[in-house]
Structures are given as structure tokens and as C-alpha cells.
Amino acid sequence: MSERTLVLVKPDGVSRGLVGEVISRIERKGLKLAALELRTVERGVAEQHYAEHDGKPFFNDLLDFITSGPLVALVVEGTRAISAFRQLAGGTDPVEKATPGTLRGDFGLEVQYNLVHGSDSPESAEREIKIWFPNL
Ligand code: DAT
Ligand code: MG
């Protein structure tokens, strides 16, 4: 069954020139791009996006980082797109949890600068797509 997921190439991925790498891996996996936009977000959008982490010790740094420069937001579509992209991304910690061969495992070194975001469930995907692409 086809589904949609919200993907971000975070500001570290954009500044390091890894947008093409991320999109290339998405496409080679067989997933399709349904929307794509380069933008710098205001804190309010970032707060909504990361609402589940409100109150955690890293929350403020996370918002500072995600609003620090342009990012690329995408809607990615295909069979099991949510899990498929999480698999391409690798675990949250690029060293401890992401194996080589994944985006974070290949290009990341620190938890905060882990290059990409991908929705973690159908409910998150629906909620996040509404935040980033309300007209989709
Ligand atoms: P994921 O992005 O793999 O879904 P998450 O939803 O648990 O991970 O956390 C969101 C982001 O917050 C994560 O990509 C990086 C940051 N983060 C998570 N845990 C952290 C920690 N212990 N220290 C610093 N940043 C953290
Ligand atoms: Mg998450």
C-alpha cells in the first residue's frame, strides 16, 4: 500500500552539500518525490514539528539548529515509504545506532547533526505533512 512520509534534509545536510545524496538514495530505493521545497523556518514551525520533544533537555538546541539555515522539506511517496525512509536514514545517533550504508551512518558524527528527519508513523506523517505542506 502506498503511503507518504515527511522528510527533511536538515540545515547541516544542506550546508554540507548532501541534498543530492539524500534525494539520490530516495529515488534509487524506488520512492517518489511528491513535494520539495528549500526554506528557512521560523521557530513556531519548528516547535510544532518537534512538539513531542517539548520539555526534553535538547529541545531548545534542536530548535536553534533546525532554524539556523535553509533546509529542504520533502514529501516522499511509495510502498511502506515511512519505514523505507527510516531505514535509509539509519538510527538517531549516527555513530551508536546508525550502521554504515545509511545516510546517518555514512555522513553523521553527532546526534544533533544527524542530517535528515523522517516521520516515524502514519499518524506522525499525516501531522507533519500538514505542518510543512498544508496545501498538499
Ligand atoms: P529521530 O530523528 O531519529 O526520529 P527523535 O525523534 O528521537 O529521533 O529526536 C529528534 C531529533 O532530536 C533527533 O534527530 C536529534 C535530536 N536528538 C534526539 N535525541 C537527542 C539527544 N539525546 N541529544 C541531542 N539531540 C537529540
Ligand atoms: Mg523522530
CA quadruple 94, 98, 99, 105: dihedral sign:
negative
- Which residues constitute the domain of residue 88? 2-132
ipTM of the complex, rounded to two decimals: 0.98
| Rounded mean pLDDT, 112-132 | 98
pLDDT of residue 1: 81
Helix axes 81-89, 19-29, angle to 10 degrees: 130
pLDDT at 21 over 90: yes
Over the stretch 47-86, which tens digit does the pLDDT of each residue have?
A: 999 999 999 999 999 999 999 999 999 999 999 999 999 9
Residues flanking ligand 1, CB < 6 Å: 53, 58, 62, 92, 111-112, 114, 117, 120
| Rounded mean pLDDT, 24-34 | 98
Residue 115 belongs to domain with CATH number: 3.30.70.141
- For ligand 1, atom 3: residue with the closest CA: 92
- The reply to whether 102 sits in an annotated binding site is no
The model's pTM = 0.98
Number of domain units in the chain: 1
Residues with CB under 5 A from ligand 2 (ion): 120
> Can you tell me which atom of ligand 1 is nearest the CA of 10?
14
